[in-house]
Each structure stands twice: as structure tokens, then as C-alpha cells.
């Protein structure tokens, strides 16, 4: 005799999806309902607050401060020009790389381009100072992309152009001479999101070769070199960045035996950020070095390559390729960590938030505008960090496919 059974549960269509994903058991159903109610309530409260109670005035009024801090208003074209140069190169890289299938740079480029375009729109609507600047940046990006598409041969010049662009950007921002359109702007006037970006990019760029050197030193057969590298890496990683920043601000003038005013806070922060990042970079690179199969070393040796050639031509390219995702991860961490430079008295994006919170206009608002400012800061940081992490995940996937 066969016993009667219930009909099988429907697993297709919208109802089926709901049943499988939200109401598969009593406990699940309860969790779903509670979550939905809580989410709707919270979202409602948040929206209500954002559009009816929040005071966005102080954020809006200080956009320039958030972007570049006290950089002279009449010289704002220089940061814009620097951004244009970078976006131009990014566009060219994306355009030239399109045929070779490097779509990740493309994604990053279009994302930055959309940001510039969106800021142009914001400028047209309500931010007259920056209107033309953002438009120029966006156009430069488009031009670069076009050039890259039409002349893929440019691709070969790109590595050098990127190196040169670093100099151009620094030259543009810093300037020369006492007056004129290109007069020098003291680093004390630098700040805001510009400073955050400078610190992260320069930190990663300089710590990259340093980190490779440290990682190679750590794997060296020579005990003295190895010991020094291990000691440096472990001591630096054993203490937090904020402490190294503080120590740099105390010790750099002493170590160089100069008066404290001779070394500005930016240089001190740069030293700490770079050395700190180099120690972590070294550990990432070491992971890559360990992942290179031993056969590769032996094959290189059999071919008669010298030690230096072996490292440069065989081992490092494979090792670095394997750790690109980890390096992007570190770039994200560094980008977030630059918010700690408040301790040496720099006014990066985060610290400008503290200035704005203590302005008279903000203090006159009952309860202050700390909540608004925190959300604004968080959203902007999140925007960039999240985009980088998406790129890192794409990279990981792409590299993983290539490996197998």
C-alpha cells in the first residue's frame, strides 16, 4: 500500500522564489517579517530625517573646504588641471586597453568620468565656482579615451606618462615662484579630499618599491639583511599607524636635527604613511614570492640567469601578478587610514569635517550638524573605497581564471 503524500512544493515563479528564499520555514518566515518591518520603519525614519529635519546647509556651504581646504580660490584651476591630467591618462589607458580586454580599468575610468560629469551637473545647478572646472575634467577624460581608442599604439607610452603625470600633478599643485598664476602654494594650504588622495596615492606609489625591497630582503639568504628587514617589518606592523604618525611628528625634526618648523606636517605624515605602508606591502609581496613554484627558480638557474635577472625577469612578475588583489586591498586600507593624519595637524577630508562641525553657523543649529557631517563623510569615503573593492574583486576573478 502506498501512503498519501502532499504535492511537491512549488519552486518556480515569483511565489516559488518567495517560498524558497523568505518563507522556507516558520522561523524563516518570522525572521523575514520582522526584518521587513524593521527595515521599512528605519528607512522611513531616515528618509524623513534626511529630507525634512537634517540641516545640510553647513555641508553645502563648505564644499570647497571639503574638496581642497584653504587652497587659494583664484588658483582652483590648478587642482582641476591636475585632475584633468589624471583622468586624461586614465581615459587613454582604458581606451587603449579595451582591445586587449583589460576591462577593469575601463570600469574605473567610466566610474570616475561619471563622477566628474555628475559634479558638472551639480556645478551647473548650484556650485558656480566649480562648474567649468568639472566640465573640463570630464572632457579631458573623454578626449583621453578617444585618443586611446583611435591610437592603441599610445599604450606603449602610458607607463612613462603615468610616471611623468605624478611630477606634473605635484608641479601644478605646488607651483613655483612668488607670484603669478603658477605661484607656489604652501602645503599648509593643502587639504580636504585633495590631500586624502595625495596621501593615499603617493603612499602606495612610494611604498611599492620599498615593500618589494623589504620582501626580497626578508627572503634573502644573508642573515644580517634578513634580520634587519624582519625587524623593521614586524616592529612597524606591531603598532598602529596613528602612533607612527604621532612619533613622526615628534621625531622627524630631531632625527634630521633641524628646527621643527623646517619640516612641515605634510612631509612628516608622508614619511610615516609611506614607511607604514611599505611594511604591509612587504608582507603582501612576500606572500606572492612564496606562491612562485620552486621549479621556476630552478629553471631560471638552469638557463644561466644571474640572481638579479632571475628575480627581475622570472620571480617578481609572477609574484606581483598574484598579489595585485592584496595590493588593491591595501590601497583601500591606506585610503581609509589617511583619516588619521589629523594627529599631525593636517586637514584632510575627515579633519575638515571637524572644522565644519565647530563653525559658528553649525553650532547655532540646535544639536549641531555632527550627524549630517558624519553621514556625508562616510558616504564619500564609502563611495571610493567600495568602487576600489569592486575593482579588486573583478581583478581577483580575472586573475583566477587566467591562472587555471
Partner 1 sequence: MSTRPAASRVPFYRNVKTLGVLAQVIFAVVVVLAAVLIYHNVSSALNRSHVPADFSFLGVRAGIPIAETPIPYTPSDSYARAFLIGVLNTLKVALVGVVLASVLGVVVGVMRLSANWLLRQLAKLYVETIRNTPLAVQIVFWYTAILTPLPPRILSAVRWPGGVLVSNQGVALPWPYPTPAFASWLPYLIAAVVLGVAAYLLRRRQLRRADRPGNPLVPALVVALVVAVAGYLLSGTTPLPTGTTTSFRQESGIATVFVDANGDGKLDAGERKLAFTPVVAHVAKGVLTTQTQDLSESRRIDYGRFRFPPLHRGEYDRATVAFADPAKAEGLSIAFVHRPYQGIVYRDDNGNGRYGPGEELSTVGAVKRGFAAELRLTVEGFRRRLATDRDGQVRIPRFTTGAARAATSGGGANMSPAQLFAAPSQAPASSDQPTLETRFETPAPRPMIVSRPTIPISTYFGGLTLSSNYLALLLGLVIYTASFIAEIVRGGIQAVPGGQREAAKALGLSDLQTFRLVVFPQALRIILPPMISQYLNLTKNSSLAPLAAYVELFAITTIIASQTGASVPVTIMLIASYIVISLVFALILNAVNARLALVER
Q: Does 300 contact partner 1 by CB under 8 A?
A: no
Nearer to partner 1, 66 or 145 (CB): 66
Q: Which of 193, 381, 391, 392 binds partner 1 (CB under 8 A)?
A: 381
Q: Which of 270, 332, 352, 356 binds partner 1 (CB under 8 A)?
A: 332
Q: Is 280:360 a contact under the CB 8 Å cutoff?
A: no
Q: Which of 10, 11, 16, 35 binds partner 1 (CB under 8 A)?
A: 35
Distance CA 348, CA 187 (A): 12
Distance CA 192, CA 67 (A): 5
Q: Does 186 contact partner 1 by CB under 8 A?
A: no
C-alpha cell at 36: 521587513
Q: Cβ-count burial of 385 within 10 angstroms (0-12 exposed, 13-18 middle, 19+ buried)?
A: middle
Q: Does 240 contact partner 1 by CB under 8 A?
A: yes
Say how many residues make up the chain. 404
Q: Is 36:23 a contact under the CB 8 Å cutoff?
A: no
Q: Which of 77, 162, 246, 297 binds partner 1 (CB under 8 A)?
A: 246
**Piece of the chain touching partner 1 by CB under 8 A; list 32-40, 74-82, 132-140, 170-178:** 32-40
In angstroms, what is the minimal distance from the CB of 255 to partner 1? Answer: 5
Q: Is 371:54 a contact under the CB 8 Å cutoff?
A: yes
In the chain, the largest separation of any two C-alpha atoms, in whole Å, equals 101
Q: Which of 150, 255, 262, 361 binds partner 1 (CB under 8 A)?
A: 255
Q: Which of 19, 22, 70, 154 binds partner 1 (CB under 8 A)?
A: 22
In angstroms, what is the minimal distance from the CB of 72 to partner 1? Answer: 28
Q: Which residue has the cell 591562472?
A: 403
Q: Does 253 contact partner 1 by CB under 8 A?
A: yes
Closest of 401, 373, 302 to residue 55, by C-alpha: 373
C-alpha cell at 234: 614586524
Query: H-type helices in 4-50, by residue range?
Result: 13-21, 26-48
Q: Does 404 contact partner 1 by CB under 8 A?
A: no
Residue 348 has phi, psi (to 5 degrees) of -80, -175
Nearer to partner 1, 266 or 340 (CB): 340
Q: Which residues bind partner 1 (CB under 8 A)?
A: 21-22, 24-25, 28, 31-32, 35-36, 39, 53, 221-225, 228, 235, 238-240, 242-243, 246-247, 250-251, 253-257, 332, 336-337, 339-340, 342-343, 350, 353-354, 357, 366-368, 370-371, 373-375, 377-378, 381-382, 385-386, 389
Amino acid at each position: 500500500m502506498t501512503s498519501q503524500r502532499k504535492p511537491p512544493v512549488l519552486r518556480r515563479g515569483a511565489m516559488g522564489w518567495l517560498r524558497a528564499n523568505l518563507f522556507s520555514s516558520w522561523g524563516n518566515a518570522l525572521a523575514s517579517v520582522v526584518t521587513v518591518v524593521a527595515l521599512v520603519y528605519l528607512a522611513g525614519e531616515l528618509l524623513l530625517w534626511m529630507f525634512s529635519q537634517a540641516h545640510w546647509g553647513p555641508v553645502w556651504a563648505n564644499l570647497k573646504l571639503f574638496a581642497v581646504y584653504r587652497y587659494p580660490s583664484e588658483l582652483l584651476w590648478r587642482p582641476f588641471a591636475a585632475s584633468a591630467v589624471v583622468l586624461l591618462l586614465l581615459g587613454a589607458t582604458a581606451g587603449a586597453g579595451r582591445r586587449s580586454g583589460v576591462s577593469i580599468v575601463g570600469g574605473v575610468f567610466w566610474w570616475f568620468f561619471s563622477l566628474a560629469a555628475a559634479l558638472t551637473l551639480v556645478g551647473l545647478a548650484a556650485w558656480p565656482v566649480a562648474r567649468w572646472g568639472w566640465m573640463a575634467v570630464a572632457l579631458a577624460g573623454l578626449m583621453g579615451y578617444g585618443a586611446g581608442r583611435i591610437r592603441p599604439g599610445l599604450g606603449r607610452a602610458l607607463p612613462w606618462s603615468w610616471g611623468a603625470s605624478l611630477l606634473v600633478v605635484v608641479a601644478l599643485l605646488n607651483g613655483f615662484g612668488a607670484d603669478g598664476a603658477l605661484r607656489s602654494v604652501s602645503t599648509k594650504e593643502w587639504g580636504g579630499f585633495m590631500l586624502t588622495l595625495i596621501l593615499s596615492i603617493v603612499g602606495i606609489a612610494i611604498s611599492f618599491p620599498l615593500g618589494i625591497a623589504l620582501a626580497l630582503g626578508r627572503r634573502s639568504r644573508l642573515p644580517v639583511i634578513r634580520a634587519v628587514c624582519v625587524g623593521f617589518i614586524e616592529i612597524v606592523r606591531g603598532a598602529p599607524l596613528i602612533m607612527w604618525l604621532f612619533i613622526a611628528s615628534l621625531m622627524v625634526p630631531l632625527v634630521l636635527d633641524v628646527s621643527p618648523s623646517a619640516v612641515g606636517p605634510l612631509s612628516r605624515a608622508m614619511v610615516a604613511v609611506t614607511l607604514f605602508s611599505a611594511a604591509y606591502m612587504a608582507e603582501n609581496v612576500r606572500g606572492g614570492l612564496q606562491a612562485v613554484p620552486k621549479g621556476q627558480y630552478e629553471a631560471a638557474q638552469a638557463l644561466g640567469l644571474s640572481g638579479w635577472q632571475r628575480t627581475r625577469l622570472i620571480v617578481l612578475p609572477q609574484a606581483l601578478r598574484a598579489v595585485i588583489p592584496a595590493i588593491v586591498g591595501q590601497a583601500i586600507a591606506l585610503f581609509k587610514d589617511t583619516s588619521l593624519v589629523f594627529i599631525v595637524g593636517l586637514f584632510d577630508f575627515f579633519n575638515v569635517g571637524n572644522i565644519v562641525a565647530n563653525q559658528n553657523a553649525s553650532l547655532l543649529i540646535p544639536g549641531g550638524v555632527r550627524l549630517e557631517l558624519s553621514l556625508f563623510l562616510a558616504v564619500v569615503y564609502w563611495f571610493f573605497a567600495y568602487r576600489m573593492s569592486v575593482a579588486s574583486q573583478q581583478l581577483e576573478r580575472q586573475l583566477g581564471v587566467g591562472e587555471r
